[in-house]
Structure 1
């Protein structure tokens, strides 16, 4: 992977919100929270998905502005609690990398709610505030009928590659499994940073039995995005292992999308991905080095990718 990059000039205890009638704690906006001894005023929610909400918040003593991610799971769902705590642990472990969204502090506590089973367990992550995703950046170019310069493309791609490479260098390696423009955020200093570590796998997944392959298919369906899914994720019976090359494939999809503002394999990605079937727009104007790198990253055989 490092050589391929070089070829194109790159180096590699909180106060709770009240409950809603439906049982889920209400919006935290305008609440005052204490996390790891620091006091925050929650300003507004600006993202939501699944059991997670992300708010803008401001520290009362310094006016420092941050993003606050709230993950809520029912108190009787120990598996979901473990997943939320695992995501927080992994983020904290990776947070010192310059291309990973900085995690400042975290807190786990019970959020009261009108539920007979005891409410929710809340995990709060206090992170640097990055208000724009790479997906939004790409969409803005599409709407304006412009495109990113190759310098801009390589800057974003190198940032993501650096973060993913750092994850892969851990012992055992950490596989992100959901590399995509929505999970790259632009920091105030203009640096692209990787986020969302809820889908991370620890080490290579090797499948030797039909039961293991069936579990892997379920896990892949839950933790990956189809349009960035590597061939070995689509056909676990053919390859029998999922590891670092799956992230490399996703990086290839990302680079293609940065260059051409469309997905390499379209919305129905399975068969084109399994066949390695994609095309370049006519008169695309991208350099030979970038086109070659895309082709290397999108090789069907996992062991042939950089």
Structure 2
């Protein structure tokens, strides 16, 4: 056999051996495994017909409650249409009982693929050489994140909260715009807690779905009689802006040391590096969001207004 014939056979063999995914009669080739969380995996795929690349999120459902949460996530993609919130191109539910994974079904969601990755990835790269973001560009990016969050908080018929806002859940588009992803933790924002059982239930859910270094204090220790609202996201935004300045959340170091993040968060003791390249107004904006008492914390409208004010002051100084 000549070398050309062999190369064709090898190429055909390579195509045939590719893992494929079928979603609503559309075939995708799996190119790469991008990552996984506690409830899902994400693959980079190529549409077999158009050759466009996408990210496919697979959610393994171990029971009816998991399935309900996954279907709710798909519903939220349809409800939340905003340039700073990730869109969903397609989705499918497949009944796939798997005794090994102890699962009853699998939900697949076709999402856009952002080759620049996440804000967390960008900050990790910057941290190596202490490459600080330009203050004005940083605040404008943060403003777009806030605009995305506002879409959650203005959702109808009920305001929604993302509940897991963090740098790893913000993608960066080709034009440097931030895009909020992972709607798996999204919930109705305003929850009235009546009794210790309801409080424990919400606390358990938060510990399962809300990342510790970005989690609001009221979700670490939920009171038996209280009101939880969308301002849980405002705390997370304060942690995100801090990370945009100094590469990590103010509570990441505590988490990495293995110390109590809950105690650190509830104490609300936020410090800034002595050699900070940023104006005091930016620190004030961060502290404005990181108020331990949720009733003293601003709503998203006030955060946007204050961010615009800080941007104008910085631009005047420049």
Where does residue 314 of structure 2 map in the other structure?
none
Where does residue 44 of structure 1 map in the other structure?
32
Gap regions ≥5 residues in structure 2: 1-16, 299-318
Q: Could you report, residue by residue, the CA deviation over 1:46-98 in whole angstroms, capped at 9, with x for unpaired residues? A: 11222411111112222211111111224xx111111111112212322x210
Q: Could you report, residue by residue, the CA deviation over 1:111-141 in whole angstroms, capped at 9, with x for unpaired residues? A: 3646698x64111111100231111111101
Distance 1:232 1:128, change over 3 A: same
Query: Pairwise mapping of residues 133-152 of structure 1 onto structure 2 (< 5 A)?
Result: 133-152=118-137
Alignment of 1:182 onto 2:168? yes
Alignment of 1:57 onto 2:26? no
Query: Pairwise mapping of residues 143-182 of structure 1 onto structure 2 (< 5 A)?
Result: 143-171=128-156, 172-182=158-168
| Kept in 1: contact 2:189–2:228 (CA 8 A) | no
| Kept in 1: contact 2:162–2:186 (CA 8 A) | yes
Distance 1:115 1:252, change over 3 A: closer
Give the aligned CA root-mean-square deviation in angstroms. 2.2
SS at match of 1:70: strand
Where does residue 304 of structure 1 map in the other structure?
296
| Kept in 1: contact 2:195–2:225 (CA 8 A) | no
Where does residue 128 of structure 1 map in the other structure?
112
Deviates more, 1:98-107 or 1:37-46: 37-46
Q: Could you report, residue by residue, the CA deviation over 1:240-290 in whole angstroms, capped at 9, with x for unpaired residues? A: 222111100110011111112233233233223222211111131212331
Counterpart selection for 1:109 from 70, 94, 99? 94
Pick the structure with more helix per residue: 2
CA distance in 1, matches of 2:26, 2:59: 19
Where does residue 7 of structure 2 map in the other structure?
none
* 1:219, distance to aligned residue in structure 2 (A): 1.7
Query: TM-score under structure 1 normalisation?
Result: 0.82
CA distance in 2, matches of 1:116, 1:102: 29
Distance 1:116 1:304, change over 3 A: closer
| Kept in 1: contact 2:207–2:220 (CA 8 A) | no
Q: Could you report, residue by residue, the CA deviation over 1:192-217 in whole angstroms, capped at 9, with x for unpaired residues? A: 10111111111312212122212222
Gap regions ≥5 residues in structure 1: 1-28
| Kept in 2: contact 1:232–1:240 (CA 8 A) | no
SS at match of 1:103: coil
* 1:178, distance to aligned residue in structure 2 (A): 0.5
Where does residue 66 of structure 1 map in the other structure?
54
CA distance in 2, matches of 1:173, 1:114: 38
Alignment of 1:253 onto 2:239? yes
Query: TM-score under structure 2 normalisation?
Result: 0.80
